[in-house]
Structure 1
Amino acid sequence: MKTSTAKPRRELIDVRYADERAKTRIGWLDSKHSFSFGRHYDPRNTHHGLLLVNNDDIVKPGMGFETHPHRDMEIVTWVLRGSLVHQDSTGHSGVIYPGLAQRMSAGTGILHSEKNDSWRLEGHKHADPVHFIQMWVVPDTDGIKPGYEQLEIDDELLRGGLVTVASGMKQHDGASAIRIKNRHAALHVARLEAGGSVALPHAPYLHLFVARGSVAMEQAGTLAEGDAVRLTGSGGQRITASAPAEVMTWEMHATIAG
Protein backbone atom coordinates (compact mmCIF):
# COMPACT_ATOMS: atom_id res chain seq x y z
CA MET A 1 0.00 0.00 0.00
CA LYS A 2 1.18 3.51 -0.76
CA THR A 3 1.70 5.83 2.19
CA SER A 4 2.08 9.57 2.56
CA THR A 5 3.96 11.73 5.07
CA ALA A 6 2.17 14.93 4.02
CA LYS A 7 0.96 16.88 7.05
CA PRO A 8 -2.79 16.92 7.73
CA ARG A 9 -4.51 20.15 6.73
CA ARG A 10 -6.56 20.45 9.91
CA GLU A 11 -6.80 19.17 13.46
CA LEU A 12 -9.48 16.63 14.28
CA ILE A 13 -10.46 14.69 17.41
CA ASP A 14 -12.82 11.85 16.51
CA VAL A 15 -14.24 9.83 19.43
CA ARG A 16 -15.42 6.31 18.58
CA TYR A 17 -17.42 4.59 21.31
CA ALA A 18 -17.22 0.87 22.08
CA ASP A 19 -20.83 0.14 21.10
CA GLU A 20 -20.28 1.62 17.63
CA ARG A 21 -17.85 -1.13 16.64
CA ALA A 22 -18.81 -3.91 14.24
CA LYS A 23 -19.04 -7.30 15.93
CA THR A 24 -18.34 -10.90 14.99
CA ARG A 25 -19.90 -13.36 17.40
CA ILE A 26 -19.73 -17.09 16.81
CA GLY A 27 -19.63 -20.02 19.22
CA TRP A 28 -16.00 -19.65 20.28
CA LEU A 29 -15.25 -16.01 19.41
CA ASP A 30 -16.48 -12.58 20.53
CA SER A 31 -14.69 -10.03 18.34
CA LYS A 32 -15.17 -6.29 18.08
CA HIS A 33 -13.63 -4.38 15.16
CA SER A 34 -12.55 -0.74 15.30
CA PHE A 35 -12.08 -0.70 11.50
CA SER A 36 -13.52 -2.54 8.51
CA PHE A 37 -12.74 -6.22 8.85
CA GLY A 38 -13.89 -9.30 6.93
CA ARG A 39 -17.55 -9.03 6.04
CA HIS A 40 -17.82 -5.78 8.04
CA TYR A 41 -16.77 -3.35 5.32
CA ASP A 42 -17.34 0.38 5.50
CA PRO A 43 -15.47 2.48 2.91
CA ARG A 44 -15.48 5.39 5.39
CA ASN A 45 -13.74 3.32 8.07
CA THR A 46 -10.81 1.45 6.53
CA HIS A 47 -7.89 2.84 8.57
CA HIS A 48 -6.47 5.70 10.60
CA GLY A 49 -2.94 6.72 9.78
CA LEU A 50 -1.10 3.43 9.21
CA LEU A 51 -3.39 1.35 11.41
CA LEU A 52 -5.70 -1.02 9.51
CA VAL A 53 -6.93 -3.36 12.22
CA ASN A 54 -7.65 -2.98 15.93
CA ASN A 55 -9.58 -6.12 16.90
CA ASP A 56 -10.73 -6.72 20.47
CA ASP A 57 -11.03 -10.53 20.73
CA ILE A 58 -12.22 -12.96 23.37
CA VAL A 59 -11.64 -16.66 22.58
CA LYS A 60 -13.03 -19.59 24.55
CA PRO A 61 -10.67 -22.24 25.98
CA GLY A 62 -9.61 -24.95 23.57
CA MET A 63 -10.62 -22.84 20.58
CA GLY A 64 -8.99 -20.29 18.30
CA PHE A 65 -7.91 -19.28 14.83
CA GLU A 66 -6.78 -22.24 12.75
CA THR A 67 -3.77 -21.93 10.43
CA HIS A 68 -4.31 -19.07 7.97
CA PRO A 69 -2.11 -16.85 5.76
CA HIS A 70 -0.95 -13.23 5.93
CA ARG A 71 1.21 -11.15 3.61
CA ASP A 72 2.92 -7.73 3.81
CA MET A 73 1.60 -6.77 7.23
CA GLU A 74 3.06 -5.97 10.67
CA ILE A 75 0.85 -7.73 13.23
CA VAL A 76 1.14 -6.84 16.92
CA THR A 77 -0.75 -8.89 19.52
CA TRP A 78 -1.31 -7.67 23.09
CA VAL A 79 -2.92 -10.03 25.61
CA LEU A 80 -5.03 -8.49 28.40
CA ARG A 81 -6.15 -11.66 30.17
CA GLY A 82 -5.39 -15.36 29.79
CA SER A 83 -2.90 -16.84 27.34
CA LEU A 84 -2.69 -17.36 23.59
CA VAL A 85 -0.59 -19.96 21.79
CA HIS A 86 1.14 -18.80 18.59
CA GLN A 87 2.56 -21.15 15.94
CA ASP A 88 3.77 -20.15 12.48
CA SER A 89 5.35 -21.51 9.33
CA THR A 90 8.77 -19.99 10.12
CA GLY A 91 9.09 -22.37 13.08
CA HIS A 92 8.21 -19.95 15.86
CA SER A 93 5.86 -21.01 18.64
CA GLY A 94 5.12 -19.88 22.15
CA VAL A 95 2.60 -18.66 24.69
CA ILE A 96 1.64 -14.97 24.73
CA TYR A 97 0.38 -13.59 28.05
CA PRO A 98 -0.22 -10.18 29.68
CA GLY A 99 2.91 -8.04 29.66
CA LEU A 100 4.51 -9.89 26.74
CA ALA A 101 4.92 -7.84 23.55
CA GLN A 102 4.66 -9.85 20.33
CA ARG A 103 5.14 -8.94 16.67
CA MET A 104 4.85 -11.00 13.52
CA SER A 105 6.05 -9.63 10.18
CA ALA A 106 4.11 -11.38 7.42
CA GLY A 107 6.37 -10.15 4.63
CA THR A 108 6.41 -12.37 1.54
CA GLY A 109 3.93 -14.70 3.22
CA ILE A 110 3.43 -16.55 6.48
CA LEU A 111 1.00 -19.10 7.90
CA HIS A 112 0.07 -19.01 11.57
CA SER A 113 -2.48 -20.11 14.14
CA GLU A 114 -3.57 -18.58 17.46
CA LYS A 115 -5.35 -20.73 20.02
CA ASN A 116 -6.43 -20.68 23.63
CA ASP A 117 -4.93 -24.08 24.42
CA SER A 118 -1.72 -23.38 26.32
CA TRP A 119 -2.22 -26.55 28.39
CA ARG A 120 -0.99 -28.51 25.40
CA LEU A 121 2.43 -26.98 26.12
CA GLU A 122 2.18 -26.49 29.89
CA GLY A 123 0.39 -29.69 30.87
CA HIS A 124 -2.48 -28.35 33.02
CA LYS A 125 -5.86 -27.64 31.45
CA HIS A 126 -7.72 -24.40 32.18
CA ALA A 127 -11.21 -23.11 31.54
CA ASP A 128 -10.37 -19.42 31.11
CA PRO A 129 -11.05 -17.33 27.99
CA VAL A 130 -8.24 -15.29 26.49
CA HIS A 131 -8.81 -11.59 25.84
CA PHE A 132 -6.40 -9.85 23.49
CA ILE A 133 -6.06 -6.90 21.12
CA GLN A 134 -4.63 -7.57 17.68
CA MET A 135 -3.40 -4.67 15.57
CA TRP A 136 -2.24 -4.56 11.95
CA VAL A 137 0.02 -1.82 10.60
CA VAL A 138 1.24 -1.63 7.02
CA PRO A 139 5.01 -2.03 6.55
CA ASP A 140 6.94 0.65 4.70
CA THR A 141 8.52 -2.00 2.44
CA ASP A 142 6.67 -4.90 0.84
CA GLY A 143 8.19 -8.30 0.23
CA ILE A 144 10.45 -8.52 3.28
CA LYS A 145 11.48 -11.81 4.88
CA PRO A 146 8.83 -12.99 7.37
CA GLY A 147 9.84 -12.60 11.01
CA TYR A 148 8.78 -12.87 14.64
CA GLU A 149 9.76 -11.15 17.88
CA GLN A 150 8.54 -11.17 21.47
CA LEU A 151 9.72 -9.72 24.78
CA GLU A 152 8.33 -9.53 28.30
CA ILE A 153 7.96 -5.93 29.54
CA ASP A 154 5.75 -6.30 32.61
CA ASP A 155 8.28 -4.53 34.87
CA GLU A 156 8.38 -1.42 32.68
CA LEU A 157 4.57 -1.22 32.68
CA LEU A 158 4.51 -1.12 36.49
CA ARG A 159 6.10 2.33 36.39
CA GLY A 160 2.82 3.85 35.19
CA GLY A 161 4.06 5.94 32.25
CA LEU A 162 3.76 5.39 28.52
CA VAL A 163 5.94 2.42 27.60
CA THR A 164 7.05 2.04 23.97
CA VAL A 165 5.97 -1.49 23.15
CA ALA A 166 6.59 -1.63 19.40
CA SER A 167 8.27 0.84 17.08
CA GLY A 168 10.06 1.22 13.79
CA MET A 169 10.94 4.85 14.48
CA LYS A 170 14.61 5.79 14.65
CA GLN A 171 14.29 7.60 17.98
CA HIS A 172 13.03 4.41 19.63
CA ASP A 173 15.89 2.25 18.40
CA GLY A 174 17.09 0.38 21.49
CA ALA A 175 14.23 1.77 23.60
CA SER A 176 11.19 -0.12 22.31
CA ALA A 177 10.39 -3.65 23.40
CA ILE A 178 10.03 -4.95 19.84
CA ARG A 179 10.71 -3.51 16.39
CA ILE A 180 8.20 -3.21 13.55
CA LYS A 181 8.97 -2.68 9.89
CA ASN A 182 7.59 0.84 9.55
CA ARG A 183 9.80 3.79 10.38
CA HIS A 184 6.77 6.07 10.87
CA ALA A 185 4.88 4.16 13.57
CA ALA A 186 5.12 3.28 17.26
CA LEU A 187 2.80 1.71 19.83
CA HIS A 188 2.84 2.92 23.44
CA VAL A 189 0.98 1.33 26.37
CA ALA A 190 0.30 2.66 29.87
CA ARG A 191 -1.15 0.90 32.90
CA LEU A 192 -2.57 3.54 35.21
CA GLU A 193 -3.84 3.43 38.76
CA ALA A 194 -6.84 5.62 39.60
CA GLY A 195 -5.67 9.23 39.40
CA GLY A 196 -2.59 8.39 37.34
CA SER A 197 -2.04 10.32 34.14
CA VAL A 198 0.06 10.46 30.99
CA ALA A 199 0.32 12.88 28.08
CA LEU A 200 -0.11 11.73 24.50
CA PRO A 201 2.79 12.25 22.08
CA HIS A 202 2.49 14.78 19.27
CA ALA A 203 2.04 13.22 15.83
CA PRO A 204 0.10 13.79 12.62
CA TYR A 205 -1.98 10.68 13.43
CA LEU A 206 -2.71 9.15 16.83
CA HIS A 207 -5.02 6.30 17.78
CA LEU A 208 -5.90 5.96 21.47
CA PHE A 209 -7.68 2.80 22.62
CA VAL A 210 -8.95 2.17 26.16
CA ALA A 211 -8.25 -1.52 26.64
CA ARG A 212 -9.36 -1.62 30.29
CA GLY A 213 -10.96 0.68 32.84
CA SER A 214 -11.98 4.27 32.26
CA VAL A 215 -10.13 7.54 31.70
CA ALA A 216 -10.78 11.22 31.16
CA MET A 217 -9.04 12.82 28.17
CA GLU A 218 -8.59 16.51 27.54
CA GLN A 219 -10.80 17.64 24.63
CA ALA A 220 -12.55 14.23 24.48
CA GLY A 221 -14.16 13.75 27.90
CA THR A 222 -14.81 10.46 29.66
CA LEU A 223 -13.79 7.26 27.87
CA ALA A 224 -14.74 3.74 28.92
CA GLU A 225 -13.35 0.31 28.06
CA GLY A 226 -13.46 -0.23 24.29
CA ASP A 227 -13.71 3.46 23.44
CA ALA A 228 -11.16 4.97 21.05
CA VAL A 229 -10.08 8.40 19.87
CA ARG A 230 -8.60 9.13 16.45
CA LEU A 231 -6.53 12.30 16.49
CA THR A 232 -5.32 14.07 13.35
CA GLY A 233 -2.75 16.87 13.44
CA SER A 234 -2.84 16.93 17.22
CA GLY A 235 -1.37 15.45 20.38
CA GLY A 236 -0.17 16.39 23.85
CA GLN A 237 -3.57 15.85 25.51
CA ARG A 238 -3.44 14.51 29.05
CA ILE A 239 -5.20 11.28 29.98
CA THR A 240 -6.17 10.66 33.61
CA ALA A 241 -7.47 7.34 34.90
CA SER A 242 -10.74 7.52 36.84
CA ALA A 243 -10.30 3.82 37.71
CA PRO A 244 -7.39 1.41 37.12
CA ALA A 245 -6.92 1.48 33.35
CA GLU A 246 -4.79 0.30 30.46
CA VAL A 247 -4.49 2.51 27.37
CA MET A 248 -2.82 1.85 24.02
CA THR A 249 -1.64 4.64 21.74
CA TRP A 250 -0.38 4.36 18.17
CA GLU A 251 1.84 7.27 17.19
CA MET A 252 2.00 7.57 13.39
CA HIS A 253 3.86 10.04 11.19
CA ALA A 254 2.36 8.87 7.90
CA THR A 255 -0.94 7.61 6.56
CA ILE A 256 -2.16 5.20 3.91
CA ALA A 257 -2.56 7.20 0.70
CA GLY A 258 -5.68 7.17 -1.42
Structure 2
Amino acid sequence: MITIYPANARYTADHGWLKSNFSFSFAEYYDPENMSFGPMRVLNDDIVKPLRGFGAHPHREMEIVSIVLEGYLKHEDSAGHSETTTFGGVQRMSAGTGVVHSEVNPSSTENVNFLQLWFEPEQHRLTPSYEKTSFDVEKMQNHLLPVVSKEHASDQTAYIHQDLTIYLSDLEKDRKITFTQREGRRIFLFVIEGDLLLDGETVLNKRDSARITDMNRLQLETESGARFMLIDLP
Protein backbone atom coordinates (compact mmCIF):
# COMPACT_ATOMS: atom_id res chain seq x y z
CA MET A 1 0.00 0.00 0.00
CA ILE A 2 1.26 3.48 -0.92
CA THR A 3 0.14 6.45 1.21
CA ILE A 4 1.05 9.88 -0.17
CA TYR A 5 1.87 12.89 2.04
CA PRO A 6 1.94 16.06 -0.14
CA ALA A 7 4.53 18.71 0.63
CA ASN A 8 1.85 21.30 1.42
CA ALA A 9 0.28 18.96 4.00
CA ARG A 10 3.35 19.20 6.25
CA TYR A 11 3.15 21.37 9.35
CA THR A 12 5.25 24.53 8.94
CA ALA A 13 6.85 26.47 11.80
CA ASP A 14 8.40 29.85 10.97
CA HIS A 15 10.50 31.42 13.74
CA GLY A 16 12.23 34.02 11.57
CA TRP A 17 15.73 32.58 11.91
CA LEU A 18 14.35 29.07 11.34
CA LYS A 19 11.73 27.65 8.99
CA SER A 20 10.84 24.00 9.58
CA ASN A 21 8.53 21.61 7.79
CA PHE A 22 7.58 18.60 9.92
CA SER A 23 6.67 15.27 8.34
CA PHE A 24 5.81 13.78 11.75
CA SER A 25 4.34 15.05 15.00
CA PHE A 26 7.05 17.24 16.55
CA ALA A 27 7.42 20.18 18.99
CA GLU A 28 4.27 22.33 18.93
CA TYR A 29 2.76 20.15 16.19
CA TYR A 30 0.99 17.23 17.86
CA ASP A 31 -0.89 14.64 15.83
CA PRO A 32 -1.49 11.28 17.54
CA GLU A 33 -2.18 9.75 14.11
CA ASN A 34 1.23 10.82 12.77
CA MET A 35 3.75 9.88 15.43
CA SER A 36 6.02 7.47 13.55
CA PHE A 37 6.53 5.05 10.68
CA GLY A 38 8.16 1.93 12.05
CA PRO A 39 11.21 3.16 14.02
CA MET A 40 11.23 6.46 12.07
CA ARG A 41 10.13 9.21 14.43
CA VAL A 42 11.15 12.56 12.87
CA LEU A 43 11.83 14.10 9.46
CA ASN A 44 12.30 17.86 9.69
CA ASP A 45 13.13 19.88 6.56
CA ASP A 46 14.91 22.86 8.15
CA ILE A 47 16.19 26.17 6.73
CA VAL A 48 18.40 28.15 9.14
CA LYS A 49 19.58 31.71 8.52
CA PRO A 50 23.28 32.72 8.64
CA LEU A 51 25.02 32.53 12.02
CA ARG A 52 21.90 31.13 13.70
CA GLY A 53 20.98 27.65 14.86
CA PHE A 54 19.99 25.31 17.65
CA GLY A 55 21.94 26.05 20.83
CA ALA A 56 23.17 23.37 23.21
CA HIS A 57 20.30 21.02 24.13
CA PRO A 58 20.05 17.42 25.41
CA HIS A 59 18.94 14.19 23.75
CA ARG A 60 18.50 10.63 24.97
CA GLU A 61 17.72 7.23 23.41
CA MET A 62 17.53 8.34 19.78
CA GLU A 63 19.54 7.89 16.57
CA ILE A 64 19.80 11.34 14.93
CA VAL A 65 20.89 11.83 11.31
CA SER A 66 21.53 15.20 9.62
CA ILE A 67 21.83 15.43 5.82
CA VAL A 68 22.73 18.87 4.44
CA LEU A 69 21.11 19.76 1.11
CA GLU A 70 22.48 23.31 0.72
CA GLY A 71 24.92 25.37 2.75
CA TYR A 72 26.89 24.30 5.82
CA LEU A 73 25.98 22.84 9.20
CA LYS A 74 28.24 22.81 12.26
CA HIS A 75 27.82 20.21 15.01
CA GLU A 76 29.31 20.40 18.51
CA ASP A 77 28.57 18.10 21.45
CA SER A 78 29.42 17.40 25.08
CA ALA A 79 31.80 14.59 24.07
CA GLY A 80 34.09 17.12 22.35
CA HIS A 81 33.13 16.53 18.71
CA SER A 82 33.11 19.53 16.39
CA GLU A 83 32.47 19.05 12.66
CA THR A 84 31.07 21.05 9.74
CA THR A 85 29.16 19.33 6.94
CA THR A 86 27.84 20.28 3.52
CA PHE A 87 26.14 18.28 0.76
CA GLY A 88 28.04 15.03 0.30
CA GLY A 89 28.38 14.51 4.04
CA VAL A 90 26.26 12.91 6.77
CA GLN A 91 26.26 13.41 10.52
CA ARG A 92 25.01 10.54 12.71
CA MET A 93 24.68 10.87 16.48
CA SER A 94 23.58 8.14 18.86
CA ALA A 95 22.19 9.96 21.88
CA GLY A 96 22.08 6.78 23.98
CA THR A 97 22.26 7.43 27.71
CA GLY A 98 22.43 11.18 27.12
CA VAL A 99 24.33 13.84 25.20
CA VAL A 100 24.18 17.62 24.76
CA HIS A 101 24.75 19.04 21.27
CA SER A 102 24.26 22.11 19.11
CA GLU A 103 23.68 22.55 15.38
CA VAL A 104 24.33 25.97 13.86
CA ASN A 105 24.82 27.59 10.47
CA PRO A 106 28.44 28.84 10.51
CA SER A 107 28.07 30.89 7.31
CA SER A 108 27.66 34.65 7.54
CA THR A 109 26.12 34.90 4.06
CA GLU A 110 24.02 31.86 3.12
CA ASN A 111 21.21 29.78 4.59
CA VAL A 112 21.61 26.11 5.38
CA ASN A 113 18.90 23.66 4.37
CA PHE A 114 19.16 20.24 5.97
CA LEU A 115 17.08 17.19 6.74
CA GLN A 116 17.08 16.00 10.33
CA LEU A 117 15.89 12.46 10.90
CA TRP A 118 15.32 10.66 14.20
CA PHE A 119 15.00 6.91 14.61
CA GLU A 120 14.37 4.78 17.66
CA PRO A 121 17.43 2.57 18.34
CA GLU A 122 17.30 -1.23 18.42
CA GLN A 123 18.44 -1.17 22.04
CA HIS A 124 18.50 1.37 24.85
CA ARG A 125 21.28 2.66 27.11
CA LEU A 126 23.87 2.80 24.33
CA THR A 127 27.05 4.79 24.91
CA PRO A 128 26.61 8.12 23.10
CA SER A 129 28.60 8.36 19.86
CA TYR A 130 29.05 10.65 16.86
CA GLU A 131 30.17 10.02 13.29
CA LYS A 132 30.70 12.19 10.23
CA THR A 133 31.00 10.45 6.85
CA SER A 134 31.42 11.65 3.28
CA PHE A 135 30.08 10.01 0.12
CA ASP A 136 30.78 10.40 -3.59
CA VAL A 137 27.90 12.48 -4.96
CA GLU A 138 28.52 11.19 -8.49
CA LYS A 139 27.66 7.66 -7.31
CA MET A 140 24.08 8.82 -6.71
CA GLN A 141 23.50 9.07 -10.46
CA ASN A 142 20.86 6.51 -11.52
CA HIS A 143 21.76 4.46 -8.46
CA LEU A 144 20.51 4.05 -4.88
CA LEU A 145 23.55 5.03 -2.84
CA PRO A 146 23.50 3.94 0.84
CA VAL A 147 24.64 6.83 3.05
CA VAL A 148 23.45 5.54 6.45
CA SER A 149 23.04 1.86 7.28
CA LYS A 150 23.51 -0.91 9.81
CA GLU A 151 24.05 -3.48 7.06
CA HIS A 152 26.18 -1.47 4.59
CA ALA A 153 28.27 0.58 7.03
CA SER A 154 31.68 1.66 5.69
CA ASP A 155 33.96 4.69 5.68
CA GLN A 156 31.45 6.33 3.27
CA THR A 157 28.27 5.00 4.89
CA ALA A 158 27.46 6.00 8.47
CA TYR A 159 26.59 3.22 10.91
CA ILE A 160 23.23 3.35 12.70
CA HIS A 161 21.93 1.29 15.61
CA GLN A 162 18.77 0.19 13.81
CA ASP A 163 17.99 -2.25 11.00
CA LEU A 164 17.53 0.38 8.29
CA THR A 165 19.30 1.93 5.31
CA ILE A 166 19.00 5.49 4.00
CA TYR A 167 19.66 5.79 0.27
CA LEU A 168 20.11 8.95 -1.83
CA SER A 169 19.72 9.02 -5.60
CA ASP A 170 19.88 11.37 -8.58
CA LEU A 171 17.68 9.80 -11.25
CA GLU A 172 18.02 11.19 -14.75
CA LYS A 173 15.14 11.96 -17.09
CA ASP A 174 13.46 8.83 -18.50
CA ARG A 175 15.58 6.50 -16.35
CA LYS A 176 14.25 3.79 -14.02
CA ILE A 177 15.38 2.13 -10.79
CA THR A 178 13.81 -0.97 -9.24
CA PHE A 179 14.10 -1.36 -5.48
CA THR A 180 13.50 -4.69 -3.75
CA GLN A 181 13.44 -5.55 -0.05
CA ARG A 182 12.53 -8.45 2.21
CA GLU A 183 8.89 -9.25 2.89
CA GLY A 184 7.30 -7.43 5.81
CA ARG A 185 9.43 -4.28 5.65
CA ARG A 186 8.55 -0.64 5.00
CA ILE A 187 9.69 1.99 2.49
CA PHE A 188 9.76 5.74 3.13
CA LEU A 189 10.27 8.00 0.08
CA PHE A 190 11.01 11.73 0.07
CA VAL A 191 11.47 13.76 -3.13
CA ILE A 192 14.14 16.43 -2.62
CA GLU A 193 13.91 17.87 -6.14
CA GLY A 194 12.00 16.95 -9.30
CA ASP A 195 9.33 14.29 -9.73
CA LEU A 196 8.99 10.53 -9.24
CA LEU A 197 6.57 8.01 -10.69
CA LEU A 198 5.98 4.94 -8.52
CA ASP A 199 5.10 1.69 -10.30
CA GLY A 200 3.85 3.66 -13.31
CA GLU A 201 0.85 5.05 -11.39
CA THR A 202 1.61 7.29 -8.40
CA VAL A 203 3.29 10.68 -8.90
CA LEU A 204 5.38 12.44 -6.26
CA ASN A 205 6.61 16.00 -6.71
CA LYS A 206 9.18 18.14 -4.88
CA ARG A 207 9.08 17.59 -1.09
CA ASP A 208 6.22 15.08 -1.33
CA SER A 209 6.70 11.85 0.60
CA ALA A 210 5.25 8.35 0.55
CA ARG A 211 4.95 5.63 3.19
CA ILE A 212 4.81 2.19 1.63
CA THR A 213 3.91 -1.15 3.19
CA ASP A 214 3.23 -4.68 1.92
CA MET A 215 5.28 -4.11 -1.25
CA ASN A 216 8.71 -5.69 -1.52
CA ARG A 217 9.34 -4.43 -5.06
CA LEU A 218 9.01 -0.84 -6.26
CA GLN A 219 9.80 0.69 -9.65
CA LEU A 220 10.90 4.34 -9.65
CA GLU A 221 11.12 6.54 -12.74
CA THR A 222 11.07 10.23 -13.59
CA GLU A 223 9.99 12.40 -16.50
CA SER A 224 12.15 15.43 -15.74
CA GLY A 225 14.79 14.15 -13.29
CA ALA A 226 14.66 13.63 -9.53
CA ARG A 227 16.84 13.78 -6.44
CA PHE A 228 15.27 11.68 -3.70
CA MET A 229 15.78 9.80 -0.45
CA LEU A 230 14.57 6.23 0.07
CA ILE A 231 14.63 4.56 3.49
CA ASP A 232 14.35 0.78 3.91
CA LEU A 233 12.78 0.24 7.35
CA PRO A 234 11.69 -2.69 9.51
Q: Normalising to structure 1: TM-score of the pair? A: 0.85
Q: Sequence identity, in percent?
A: 37
Q: Distance in 2 between matches of 1:239 and 1:166?
A: 20
Q: Distance in 2 between matches of 1:87 and 1:190?
A: 28
Unaligned runs of 5+ in 2: none
Q: Is the 8 A contact 1:88 1:111 kept in 2?
A: yes
Candidates 11, 25, 43, aligned match of 1:54? 43
Counterpart residue number, 1:140: 122
Counterpart residue number, 1:13: 2
Moved more, 235-244 or 159-168: 235-244
Aligned length: 232
Q: Distance in 2 between matches of 1:252 and 1:13?
A: 15
Q: What secondary structure, in the 3-state scheme, does the structure 2 residue paired with 1:234 have?
A: coil
Counterpart residue number, 2:215: 234
1:96 aligned partner, one-letter code: T
1:141-195 deviation line (CA, Å, top 9, x unaligned): 11111111111103453443001111113xx25486110011x211111122222
Q: CA 1:55–1:144 in structure 2 vs 1: closer, same or farther (change >3 Å)?
A: same
Q: What secondary structure, in the 3-state scheme, does the structure 2 residue paired with 1:19 have?
A: helix
1:65-95 deviation line (CA, Å, top 9, x unaligned): 1111110111111111111111111111111
Counterpart residue number, 1:127: 109
Q: What secondary structure, in the 3-state scheme, does the structure 2 residue paired with 1:141 have?
A: coil
Q: Distance in 2 between matches of 1:66 and 1:81?
A: 20
Unaligned runs of 5+ in 1: 1-11, 119-125, 254-258
2:164 aligned partner, one-letter code: A
Q: Does 1:181 align with 2:161?
A: yes
Counterpart residue number, 1:86: 75
Deviation at 1:215, TM superposition (A): 1.7
Q: What secondary structure, in the 3-state scheme, does the structure 2 residue paired with 1:200 have?
A: strand
Q: CA 1:100–1:224 in structure 2 vs 1: closer, same or farther (change >3 Å)?
A: same
Q: Distance in 1 between matches of 2:2 and 2:55?
A: 37
Deviation at 1:219, TM superposition (A): 5.9
